[in-house]
Amino acid sequence: MDWKEKIDKDRLPRHVAIIMDGNGRWAKQRGKFRTFGHQHGVKSVRETAEAAAEIGIRYLTLYAFSTENWTRPKSEVNALMKLLVRTINKESKTLHENKISLKAIGNLDSLPDITRRELFEAIKETQQYDRMTMILALSYSSRWEIVNAAKTIAQKIEAKEISSADIDQKLFESCLTTNTIPDPELLIRTSGEYRISNFLLWQIAYSELFFSTKYWPDFRKEDLYEAIVDFQKRERRFGKISEQIIK
Ligand code: FPP
């Protein structure tokens, strides 16, 4: 099936977010260590980024490392951090060639110095591109982000910059790490798991969800296109009734 041909370019989701899952199981199926799966996951990152940029997606967010992932065995965490540095270095060519700017969300202070340095450098080097923004969620969890936003608001009140009456959704959103990024219209999770796992809980209030049974290292361009075709078949009502939707 050529899914790309079936996409209506006028009704693309502006922002697609992905929970890349199944690297460990993919490796285990092949009798290899989990890190082998992460290494192969990098190809899927490249393919997905290229595929999204090719059709005109403006924002692509990838859940690369969650706050909870720090509790994995130290050897796996270290391998993932090293892989991130290597990938950022190696894939910066892909970013430049496809005019993609890089951003990151999460508790970036908790990353090892080298990872943070490479990340910030790549973010700076690609900031001029506006074809697509690729956002890496690193040491990210939604509850961490929401608590952080609550703290920021409390501090503003303590400093008498605002009063509690000023708190509304807009103010709250401005305190989230995603404050410059529109909410994702489409959230994809791979590996046949049907969970959100603490990812963008505020931002996905009205997102369409697509679950792929493929493990992340097997995810390819056509899989992204299939998810987008499926998204385009749905009616997004935002609490209204069908007849109220302008088609
Ligand atoms: C989930 O699979 C995947 C991760 C925790 C890491 C994702 C990282 C990459 C693909 C590497 C490079 C990424 C970028 C963006 C530079 P899992 O380990 O939870 O798999 P399992 O559920 O089968 O155990």
Span from the CA of 22 to the centroid of ligand 1 (angstroms): 7
114: its two tokens: 């080298």
Residue 234 φ/ψ region, left for φ over 0, alpha for ψ in the -120 to 50 degree band, beta for the rest: beta
Superfamily name with CATH number, domain 13-139+184-235: Decaprenyl diphosphate synthase-like (3.40.1180.10)
Residue range 56-69: mean pLDDT, rounded: 97
pTM above 0.75, yes or no: yes
Span from the CA of 19 to the centroid of ligand 1 (angstroms): 9
Contact 186, 208 (CB under 8 A): yes
- Is 106 near ligand 1, meaning CB less than 6 Å away? no
What share of the chain in percent tops pLDDT 90? 92
Residue range 170-175: mean pLDDT, rounded: 98
The dihedral formed by the CA atoms of 50, 191, 136 and 117, expressed in degrees to the nearest 10? -100
- Is 21 near ligand 1, meaning CB less than 6 Å away? yes
Give the residue whose CA is nearest to atom 8 of ligand 1: 64
Residue range 6-20: mean pLDDT, rounded: 97
Ligand 1 atom at minimal distance to the Cα of residue 215: 23
Output the pLDDT for position 239. Answer: 79
String of DSSP letters for the chain? --TGGG--GGG--SEEEEE---HHHHHHHTT--HHHHHHHHHHHHHHHHHHHHHHT--EEEEEEEEGGGGGS-HHHHHHHHHHHHHHHHHHHHHHHHTTEEEEEES-GGGS-HHHHHHHHHHHHHTTT--SEEEEEEEEE-HHHHHHHHHHHHHHHHHTTSS-GGG--HHHHHHTSTTTTSPPPSEEEE-TT----TTSSTTTTTT-EEEE--S-GGG--HHHHHHHHHHHHTS---TTS-GGGS--
Q: What is the overall mean pLDDT for the chain? A: 95
Output the pLDDT for position 123. Answer: 97
Residue 247, pLDDT > 70, answer: no
Span from the CA of 74 to the centroid of ligand 1 (angstroms): 15
Residue range 220-229: mean pLDDT, rounded: 98
Output the pLDDT for position 244. Answer: 76
pLDDT band at residue 246 using 50, 70 and 90 as cut-offs: low
Ligand 1 atom at minimal distance to the Cα of residue 88: 16
Q: Give which of 182, 178, 190 is closest to 226, Cα–Cα.
A: 190
Residue 146, pLDDT > 80, answer: yes
What share of the chain in percent tops pLDDT 70? 99
Residue range 158-182: mean pLDDT, rounded: 98
Burial of 186 from C-beta contacts in 10 A (0-12 / 13-18 / 19+): buried
Of the listed ranges 44-53, 69-78, 114-123, 231-240, the one predicted with least confidence? 231-240
Give the residue whose CA is nearest to atom 22 of ligand 1: 22
Q: Using CA atoms, how far apart are residues 227 and 230, in angstroms rounded to an integer? A: 5
Residue 17, pLDDT > 90, answer: yes
Residue range 19-28: mean pLDDT, rounded: 98
Choose one of 19, 23, 84 to mutate for the ligand 1 pocket test, by most ligand atoms within 8 angstroms of C-beta.
23
Span from the CA of 39 to the centroid of ligand 1 (angstroms): 9
